[in-house]
Structure formats: structure tokens, C-alpha cells
Structure 1
Amino acid sequence: MSASAVNAGSLVTLQELNPNSPNFKPGGAFRVTGKLQEYTLETAVAVIIDGDASLKVDTQHLKLDLRPGSLYQFIGELDIEPTNEVIGIYGHLSNDIVHIGILASSAITKTIPWLVFFFQAILKARVGRNVDGLDMNLYHQSLRLLREFQAAQISSWTA
């Protein structure tokens, strides 16, 4: 495969794209599916959801009529950036000392290094399509079965 070849995108659920997941890495190519919760025309950023998980999708390179409430599937590369806002305040007690901090962005932590910050992920979509009519429960079940089959095939090759 040449260096300029485009990756097809690993099939993942939105729940699998979280900071604790091995999939959560910048530049990773993914195929995700979810219901369009919101879309901002000015920024071309969509938010898709699946259960309690959500993901921002940059759609600036797509010619797609996006309708909130419809199901969409996107293929693209994951971009991970620090957030640019204060998220909240935390506190804890250790050795009789109260530690209080602000959950904030990296822009703030550059001036106050002890602050904690979070990252936000955005999928830079290169392909998108409407998949209304897709049964998400059946989709998740088929994804689970596909992974079980692939694991069985890999284990039979190594045996």
C-alpha cells in the first residue's frame, strides 16, 4: 500500500471513540454511524449521537443535505484537540490540604500549569451518506457478530 493510499476507515461505534479507548488517536480513520442531533451551517459541524455517546463531525468537504433526526454514516479521520473553555471546578482533600482547581482548556493551562484539561474529538469527514431506515439495534448486533467471526478466524490461523 502506498503512502498516499486512503484508509477505508475502521468500523466503530460512537461509544468506542472515547478518551479511554485504543481507537482514540489522532489521524485514525473511522466509519461511524449516528443520528444527526444538530448541524451548524456556518461551521459545517454536525453532532451525531448513538445512545449516550456523541461525536462532532466536520462536514465542510461534503455535499450532503443534512436533516436533524436522520441517520448518517461518515468516514473520515479523527482530529483530537484540547477544548477552549472552562468545563467546571473540582476539589479534593489530601494530607489535610484542600486542593481546588478548574477544569479548563490547554490555552488556560499554559498560564496556570496545574489545571486539568480535556480533549474533544472531531471526525474530519471525507464521505457521508444518509442511512435512514437502518435498524441501529440490528446494526450493533451485526457488528458484534462480525467481530466475533473475525476473532475466530484470527485464532484459527494462529492455531
Structure 2
Amino acid sequence: MASSAINAGALVTLQELNPTSPYFKQGASLRVTGKLQEYSVETAIAVIIDGNATLKIDTQHLNLNLRNGSTYQFIGELLIQPDNEAILKARVGRNVDGMDLNLYHQSLKLLREFISDQTSTLTA
């Protein structure tokens, strides 16, 4: 029986999702967080924003009440359009209104530093 492994969503900020980023790959499994800027019920496309960066989210497979201005976290696969526009096809979504995005970014930076230190210690 063939196993279809689902990759964990790599923690990524919206600012890191640009064509030069190592995370900007077709099918990359990502976890992103941002405030809901707009949502279209007809297309099930949401747009989240964090700072000056935005990302479209395909929410068609989610059962989630979306409210403009609320903060959401999505896990899914990145689909890159021919014009280099990215859309995250979400498989998981949740409201994280209580999350302090500045503190979240700081903790993400510290986590990456810790992982880098652990990796370099193991290879030394």
C-alpha cells in the first residue's frame, strides 16, 4: 500500500515569501500567519497581510468563519502561478486573534538561531 506523507508546514513569515526565497517553491508545505485583509466567498480566496507583505490563501477546503481584521494561521501547499504570484492551498486554518505578531516574529527568529546552533554543534 502506497504511503502519502504530508509534510509539516515550515514556519515562514509573509516577508520571506518572494521569488528569491528558499521557501518559494512549487508545492512547498508552509505555515503562514497574518491579518485577514479581504475574503471572497465566491472564489474562497482570502488575502492575509503582515507588515507590507500579502499572500493569497485558497480556503475552499476549510470550514472556517473568516472575519476581516482577524489574525489567522494557515498550513498548506504553495502554488506558484506562471506570473510568479503565489497562492497557498490551505488544508488547515485557525483564528489566532490573541497572538502578538511582533512576539511571534521574535520567537521564530530565536527558534531558527537555536536550530542553527544545534545543527552546527552536531556537525562539528
Tell me, yes or no, whether TM beats 0.5. yes
What range describes the TM-score normalised by the shorter chain of this pair?
A: over 0.9
Q: Report the counterpart of residue 114 of structure 2 in structure 1.
A: 149
2 CA distance for matches of 1:127 and 1:74? 6
Report the alpha carbon displacement of residue 3 of structure 1 after superposing the two structures with TM.
Answer: 4.7
Q: Report the counterpart of residue 74 of structure 1 in structure 2.
A: 74
Report the alpha carbon displacement of residue 149 of structure 1 after superposing the two structures with TM.
Answer: 0.3
Q: Report the counterpart of residue 139 of structure 1 in structure 2.
A: 104
Superposition RMSD in Å = 1.0
Counterpart of 1:153 in structure 2: which amino acid? Q
The within-5 A match list for 1:77-156 is 77-82=77-82, 118-156=83-121
Secondary structure, aligned partner of 2:81: strand
What percent identity do the matched residue pairs reach? Answer: 72
2 CA distance for matches of 1:59 and 1:3? 25
Q: Report the counterpart of residue 54 of structure 1 in structure 2.
A: 54
Secondary structure, aligned partner of 1:67: coil
How many pairs were matched up? Answer: 123
1 CA distance for matches of 2:20 and 2:28? 15
Report the alpha carbon displacement of residue 119 of structure 1 after superposing the two structures with TM.
Answer: 1.6
Larger deviation, residues 62-71 vs 20-29: 20-29
> What runs of 5+ residues in structure 1 fail to find an aligned partner?
83-117
2 CA distance for matches of 1:119 and 1:135? 30
Counterpart of 2:18 in structure 1: which amino acid? N
Q: Report the counterpart of residue 15 of structure 1 in structure 2.
A: 15
